[in-house]
Chain A
Amino acid sequence: DVKVTQSSRYLVKRTGEKVFLECVQDMDHENMFWYRQDPGLGLRLIYFSYDVKMKEKGDIPEGYSVSREKKERFSLILESASTNQTSMYLCASRGRLAGGHHGELFFGEGSRLTVL
């Protein structure tokens, strides 16, 4: 059973603080993703990574950066948190798309961040 673990379920930070959200997966998946979930807006892709040290911008990358130093770990970084970054953050992983495999996303439990 695939397991995607996010380090913190709930965080409260102050405006201007640096925030690290950590995600670890145990299925040797090549691809990892960070989504942001807001009511009425669905799941919006922030960044994704298809290999170690590789990263690509998603649809809303502004104000965020990511790090993938090891295959199993994908970190989301808020360099200077702002109140409009208060949200639920979901990490996901996916295996390689090959041989008819469609690529199910396996999500973590989510990290609810509040920026005061």
Chain B
Amino acid sequence: GENVEQHPSTLSVQEGDSAVIKCTYSDSASNYFPWYKQELGKRPQLIIDIRSNVGEKKDQRIAVTLNKTAKHFSLHITETQPEDSAVYFCAARAPSGGYNKLIFGAGTRLAVHP
């Protein structure tokens, strides 16, 4: 089955700096890669996603890149702000036994210091 590894587990940056979180996946059949943000005490929410037929996608200060050959994808946050502080989860979806299961990474705790 699919396995997703996420690094780093914690990341601390100064406000205004960039942050990069990296994930690798094992199943080459995976075709959808979302990123979820979970603020303290709140539910995870989708912030950006990318399909396997696209190499990069941007939405204001956040971007995701996908390298299918190497089976890794990354989240890039530019000009970080304190409200970006949260736990970020990457995920990969692969067909499995006729169903589409989303497998999550272990999460990255991002702290943005003013």
Contact = CB atoms under 8 A, between A and B. Distances in A.
Chain A bound to chain B = yes
Interface of A: 4, 35, 40-45, 48, 50, 56, 58-59, 90, 97, 102-105, 107-110
Interface of B: 1, 4, 6, 9, 32, 34, 36, 42-46, 49, 51, 89, 91, 93, 97, 99-107
Nearest to B45: A107
15 contacts: A35-B104, A40-B107, A42-B105, A42-B106, A42-B107, A43-B89, A48-B99, A48-B101, A58-B101, A97-B100, A103-B100, A105-B36, A107-B43, A109-B43, A110-B43
B89 A108 contact: no
Given A43-B104, A105-B34, 19 more contacts: A35-B104, A40-B107, A42-B6, A42-B105, A42-B107, A43-B91, A45-B103, A48-B99, A50-B99, A56-B99, A59-B1, A90-B43, A97-B100, A102-B32, A103-B32, A105-B44, A107-B44, A108-B43, A110-B43
